[in-house]
Structure 1
Amino acid sequence: MGVPMARRLAAAGHDVTTWRRGAGVSPAAAVEGADLVITMLSDPAAVREVLTAALPGLRPGATVAEMSTIGPEAVRELRALLPAGVGLVDAPVLGSVGPAAEGALTVLAGGDGDDVARCREVLSVFGTVRELGPLGAGAAMKLAVMNALVPAQVLLAETLAYGEAHGVDREALSDVLALTPLGALAERLRVPAAETRYSLAHAAKDLELGAWEGASVAGAARARLQEARAAGLGERDLTAIAGHVAVSPAGTRAVPLNLATVPATNGMYSHAVRAGDTLYVSGVAAFDEHGEIVGEGSMAAQSEHVYQVIGRILADQGAGFGDIAFIRTYLTDMDARAEHGAVRRKYITGTPPASTTVEVSRLFMPGLLLEVDLIVALPSRVTPGGR
């Protein structure tokens, strides 16, 4: 997306400096002296990393237009990261590579009115600018829209799979779908795109960022996309989901889950694995995305962080704390179990799940006081032609 957007800016007469990871020059050097800095990156972690590195080069009075899809929480984190004298506008877009080249994107802008006004002319080069309100409004709007558009395409993929399983001609079904309000989306799936316009991995990431408790339809679509990503289709266009669903009904494999809203793993494990309607959650401990201890020395603070992370993992799969079947807690000091228990009871209410608590001499990172792993019973999913 960034390449055609940069070309449009240059063609419109703007003085443009481009930077991408691995370019050999620091982000700070790239943004030095710029009035407006635009970021278009893959996920919240990438945006935080790049803007943190760019901080020494940002001049007072500059404005950052964050155009990636990262969600409102990450936008608020960026506001806290940036100096007070640097403006911030969240301006994710609707549209893919083709509309980006044509200047036909829809820009969803949120932020202080003065900040938006300073960059509106530049944002207009990319397409139609919609001013949506205070900082974070654009990011929230983008995820709200994707929570409708992406599951709709997964639903259509399952519709085609259902038809195939019941002897319905695929082309005839596509023709009939084209007559319905879903016609435009159905046409996209008729022949999956050879060129990646909107990757399946990015679609899965967008639904992970937009996860909220009770989002059953989006949650089911997210699980489908996570399965397809685990099967190696992440870099393919989202329309590849049609072929994946046709040959691979849900629930036939163990699906690793790694959430953008949870601190990254070291590559040796996944946050959780879904096997059918059971979720196995890896040990959750109190460290942040930079690998730093959260709440060092405090069992209560570390417990709070752990249960917040667990809540995100559960919400991603359409579950809640009431769906936990088994919980196992490792404490480095059993005398502190009352502090941990007080926090746990805030999240796990009513009749408790099966549970084991043990004391250990140490955990994998010095300073960690507890680690919690889980087994969770998830809502059932219906496979094509199943009951």
Structure 2
Amino acid sequence: MIAFLGLGRMGVLMARRLVDAGHTVTTWNRTPRTVLGARAAGSPADAVAGAELVITMLSDPAAVREVLEQAAPALRDGTLVVEMSTIGPEAVAGLRDRLPAGIGLVDAPVLGSVGPAREGALTVLAGGPAGDVARCREVLEVFGQVRELGGLGAGAAMKVAVMSAVVPSQVLLAETVAYGEAIGVKAGALLEVLGVTPLGALAERVRPAVEGGRAERRYGLGLAAKDLALAAHPVQTLAAAAWRRLDGAIAAGLGGDDLTAVFQHVGHAEPSGSAETPDGAGTSGGVRARTRVEKINPASVPATNGLYSHATRVGDLVFVSGQVALDDAGNVIGEDDMAAQAERVMESLARILADQGCTFDDVTHIRTFLTDMSRLAEYGTVRKRYITGEPPASTTVEVSRLFRPGLLIEVEVTAAVPAATVL
């Protein structure tokens, strides 16, 4: 039996292919969703109970870690986990450390979008022990061509390396079209000429967006920005510049659109004479420009009530609002359970930080509000699982109550975005 965790646009098509290939499949998704012929489970633990193979296809490293932690108690010895999300090699290594020794792990992210996923024409980038890859190869071939790349993390590393070329090239093309129009070159004519160059396939891919149409969402702009953040490295200066361009598009509300929406964003961006410089200061005729404040509300955490943003960013500083233990419907999680509430809070913080290319290692200050200081140790046990390195500056205070009855803890953080992901 195969457990498939995560039914996004790609995941639902991949799970359907497994069913069509004759496999017994149990699925789980945070927002309930069904796949014809598969059993829908109520929780990750329910989904993996009795499974020989567990596939995860989720949004980001924090989501994968959270879901597998929920599933872990039900994993039986000998189960093989195949992680197919795009989370990077470091996150894969972290999963190996968290999973029990008797559980196998293969990383196998994919290249391709919804069309290839539907047709079984994806490229699967597999990394892991040879024996484990052999165990799941037949299943992976249901999704497309399998490329075995080496040990654990090799698939994840290849995926972020490839995307660090693919995504910036599309951003560059968007800027090229905007530049061409500025000097009198019509976009359509430019794409026709580019069509006879090595950029021809990409030029054809973006034509609908350039001609003003709304492209089918094949590769979300927000996901592309996440992938570039995972590829952060000092040598990746062009990728970092593209990431900042996408970050601006997300702030403009385009994160849920296809990546080609960057063409409209670049076309309406500020002139280069007033753009931000790498240190966060803008220049326009020698006058220092005001640094733009970006409002951040990732889709990976429950929506706010509209009266605040989950975080704001100025330059390379991220200020995260106090997070509490509420579910998607606004109900308190873990009544009178400090550990459960602290887990939810730290997971939400991790997701918001990951959206900006940060981890808890990048946190400069953490501020905690507790309604009962005698329960500090319960919170501390959870916190130590997330903040594992040199701790940041910290403030912890006791308050008489929080804004919702039943809440025991609220935590806010400030973080500095790693230099490699800052333009």
Both proteins in one fold, TM over 0.5: yes
Q: Does 1:16 align with 2:56?
A: no
Partner of 1:93: 110
Q: Displacement, 1:17?
A: 1.5
| CA distances 1:206-251 after superposition (whole Å, capped 9, x unpaired) | 0111112242100110011111111111111101111111112354
Q: Which amino acid aligns with 2:293?
A: A
Q: 1:87 to 1:237 in 2, by over 3 A?
A: same
Residue matched to 1:168? 185
Structure 1 segment 1-387 matched on structure 2, within 5 A: 1-23=10-32, 25-192=42-209, 194-249=215-270, 251=276, 253-256=292-295, 273-274=313-314, 278-282=315-319, 291=345
Asked whether the equivalents of residues 212 and 315 of structure 1 are also in contact (C-alpha less than 8 Å), the reply is no
Cα distance between partner residues in 2 of 1:114 and 1:153? 38
* Alpha-carbon displacement from aligned partner over 1:2-27 (angstroms, at most 9, x marks no partner): 11111211121111122211337111
- Measure the CA separation in 2 of the matches of 1:76 and 1:172: 47
CA contact (8 A) 1:259 1:271 kept: no
CA contact (8 A) 2:232 2:421 kept: no
Whole-Å separation in 1 of the counterparts to 2:26 and 2:143: 17
Q: Distance in 1 between matches of 2:203 and 2:154?
A: 30
Q: Is the 8 Å Cα contact of residues 229 and 421 (structure 2) preserved in structure 1? A: no
Partner deviation per Cα, 1:46-65 (whole Å, 9 max, x = no partner):
11111111112211111010
Following superposition, the deviation at residue 374 of structure 1 comes to 7.0
Given the superposition, is the C-alpha separation of residues 360 and 49 from structure 1 closer, same or farther in structure 2, using an over 3 Å criterion? closer
Gaps of 5+ in 2: 1-9, 33-40, 277-290, 323-341, 348-352, 368-389, 403-407
The AA in structure 1 aligned to 2:319 is S
Distance 1:141-1:284 versus aligned 2 partners, 3 A rule: farther
Deviations 1:107-140 (A, max 9, x none): 0001111111100000011111011111111001
**CA spacing shift, 1:66–1:176, aligned 2, 3 Å:** same
Change beyond 3 A, Cα 1:375–1:169: closer
Question: How far apart are residue 181 of structure 1 and its match?
Answer: 0.9
Number of residue pairs the alignment of both structures matches: 326
5+ residue gaps, structure 1, are: 294-309, 322-326, 331-345, 347-356, 382-387
Shift of 1:257: 6.2
Partner Cα distance (1:190, 1:43) in 2 = 29
| Alpha-carbon spacing, 1:379–1:17, altered in 2? closer, same or farther (3 Å) | closer
Residues 270-327 of structure 1, C-alpha deviation per residue, up to 9 Å, x if partnerless?
66624xxx44443899xx986569xxxxxxxxxxxxxxxx9x99988xxxx9xxxxx9
CA contact (8 A) 1:157 1:245 kept: yes
**Once the two structures are superposed, what CA deviation does each residue of 1:336-378 show, in whole Å capped at 9, x if it has no partner?**
xxxxxxxxxx9xxxxxxxxxx9x989699999xxx87779999
Distance 1:65 1:10 in 2: 17
Q: Sequence identity, in percent? A: 57
Letter in 2 for 1:200: L
Q: Residues 255 and 55 of structure 1: is their aligned pair in 2 closer, same or farther, counting only changes over 3 Å? A: same
State the alpha-carbon separation in 2 of the partners of residues 72 and 204 from structure 1.
17
* CA shift in 2, pair 1:271/1:126, >3 Å: same
Q: State the Cα RMSD in Å.
A: 4.1
Q: 1:258 to 1:89 in 2, by over 3 A?
A: farther
Distance (Å, rounded) in 2 between the aligned partners of 1:314 and 1:196? 22
TM-score (norm 2): 0.66
